[in-house]
Amino acid sequence: MDTFLLLLPDFALILLGVWLRRQAAFSNGFWMGLEKLVYFVLFPALLFNALAKVEIDLATTLPLFLAGLTVMVSGFVLGLLPRKWMGLDDMSFASRVQCAYRFNTYIGMAIAGKAFGTAGLATMGVLAGTMVPFANVMAVSLLARHGQGRVWRELVRNPLILATLAGLLFNATGLTLPTPAASFLGRLADASIALGLLAVGAALRWGRIGGHWGGTVWIAVVKLMALPAIAWFVTVWYGLEGLERSVVVLFGSLPSASSAYILATRMGGDGPGVAWLISATTLAAMPTMALWLALLGAG
């Protein structure tokens, strides 16, 4: 129960975003602008601020990276299994496979900070920031054989990747942020969580499922249950324990990212099917994440 109550405020913000999108008099342009503000300004400030100040143990950074990559590649491989019986064309199937391994960074950062404090926030920032380019490369490589050039240009301009690298580099210099700069970034970081979760809720969509329902359910189960279980064991294999192990398991339990829908629609894929999976995994994530956090003793 304590773990459920820990997650409740953040998921309440997501549900508020759902309600505001459907009932309040905010235009589509407002929500598009909010998503851009969070993605390009507020969330990068959160990542940089967290990484610039935390004490990073280099001995655990490589195992943390390898564990996260193992979890994500496992999701990619498991997501491919229902190809023959899912009843979808290649592009639609490739669109949905993303939902088996792509992760919602906003929710991850919010829960990591709530459950594990500043150190958890920074650790999730390192993990999520280093996994973003790999998630994008895997998704696009399956969706389009000739899209690599554009993808690499997008990766080097990705604000989350740039903020992660900038925060790590600043941390490595041993410098300290001046008080006004730290306060400024702190204000932006504080706004990022609440607005980011509202944007997640506003982005949820229900549409046609299409194909065999069993394949769609399989992808959701892989994302919410199989990946955190894999994370539970691979962290032991890589020698992670304590905070780092908890963050990797939390990372594995995150719902699918809304960016999967954006990529699918931009590349002519199955937008409605991906939107359904994102919505389903986001709403189902509250009890499943509560379960994994309780097992970790975070509640």
Span 69-106, pLDDT tens digits: 999 999 999 999 987 777 777 788 888 899 999 999 88
DSSP 243-269: HHHHHHHHHHHPPPPTHHHHHHHHTT-
Tens of pLDDT, residue by residue over 46-56, are 888 877 877 76
Collapsing DSSP states into helix, strand and coil, what is residue 72? helix
Cα dihedral sign, 201-207-211-212: positive
pLDDT of 299: 52
Structural domains in the chain plus CATH codes? 2-296 (1.20.1530.20)
pLDDT of 2: 63
Is the pLDDT at 148 greater than 50, yes or no? no
Tens of pLDDT, residue by residue over 196-252, are 888 878 877 766 666 667 788 899 999 999 999 999 999 999 999 999 999 999 999
Would you place residue 266 in the very low, low, confident or very high pLDDT band (cuts 50, 70, 90)? low
